[in-house]
Amino acid sequence: MKPVIELWEGVGFGLIIEWPSGVLFSNQTGGTSTLHPQAEGAFVPLRNDCERDGNRLLSPESELLAYFEGPKHRGTGATQGLDPDDADFIGSVLSRWRLPQVSVDRARLAESHEAWVHVLIHGDAGGDGELPLQGFAPYPRTGILTWSNSD
């Protein structure tokens, strides 16, 4: 049995790079459905910062939580899968947060849901705004975006 690292006590946005690491990562996902999917790989926190004066998290997580709690999904977790509009929104968040090397895996929308989105990773470390990765080629490589669940 492989060891499991549970991410639900953490705060912020991250990427599970699917990789034969021998370690499974799990998060509480799917809104009020409270799912616990797992994936083997390596976990990289991305674009999380804290505003010291206001104790406010500055992260893509904030936009994604608001979206999945909003009128379309109402905290239900989108457990029947995501649709192209959801993928477009997530893609716009990735763009705003300067993550051009990550794109929603549209072939796996049915397997994706709130706080567990299958993605493609298109390269590793390079210039400003790129992923803090090295040595995960060949690309594209699969991964999962994950963040705090809205339950």
* pLDDT score of 92: 97
Q: What is the DSSP letter of 107?
A: G
With 70 as the cut, is the pLDDT of residue 126 above it? no
- Higher-pLDDT residue of 130 and 70 is 70
Q: What is the mean pLDDT of residues 74-85?
A: 92
- pLDDT for the residue numbered 47: 86
> If pLDDT is split at 50, 70 and 90, which confidence band does 149 have?
confident
Please, how many CA atoms are within 13 Å of residue 63, restricted to the half-sphere of its CB?
15
Tell me if 27 sits within 8 A of 149, measured CB to CB.
yes
Give 98-111 pLDDT, tens digit per residue.
988 999 999 999 99
pLDDT band at 23 (very low <50, low <70, confident <90, very high): very high
Residues shown for the chain:
151
Q: Which residue has the tokens 């998060």?
A: 27
CB within 8 A of 93, min separation 6: which ones?
60, 63, 64
